[in-house]
Amino acid sequence: MSRTHGGVYRTSGGRLLGRVAGMPVLLLKTTGRGSGRPRTATLTYFRDGGDLVVIGSFGGSDLPPAWWLNLQRDPRASVLIRGTTSRVTARAATAEEHDRLWPLVTETNPGYARYQRRTARPIPIVLLRPERE
């Protein structure tokens, strides 16, 4: 999704452009692994228990998305969902979780199956666990 999409989402408090392809949208703020600066990515997500689930597809590119590389360096991040910001800690789904979640991912958005066919790299499923206050 574009920076424009994220900007509209942010300024509207998530009232505008809050869904894409039937999926809700969040803004993920990470710390740049090289720059140390805040970086924001606009992503679709779904929930699995208490976790937010995002997919590192990057449109089926052979390169992983920068936000995922940033989270691998520093898993602490924040998300903005419909005007509310929460701190989260990220981790890759285990093999068992991936096997359980991938069918849900592709059922929710069949485009992810196409993206996986485009690339030899495994597309990561990333779990964002909200921190307890």
83-94 pLDDT, tens digit each: 899 999 999 999
Rounded-to-integer distance, Cα 98 and Cα 100, Å: 5
Question: Under CATH, domain 3-130 is a member of which superfamily?
Answer: Electron Transport, Fmn-binding Protein; Chain A (2.30.110.10)
Rounded-to-integer distance, Cα 54 and Cα 67, Å: 11
pLDDT in tens, 44-76: 999 999 999 999 998 889 999 999 999 999 999
Query: Is the entire prediction scored with pTM above 0.85?
Result: yes
Q: What is the reported pLDDT for 107?
A: 92
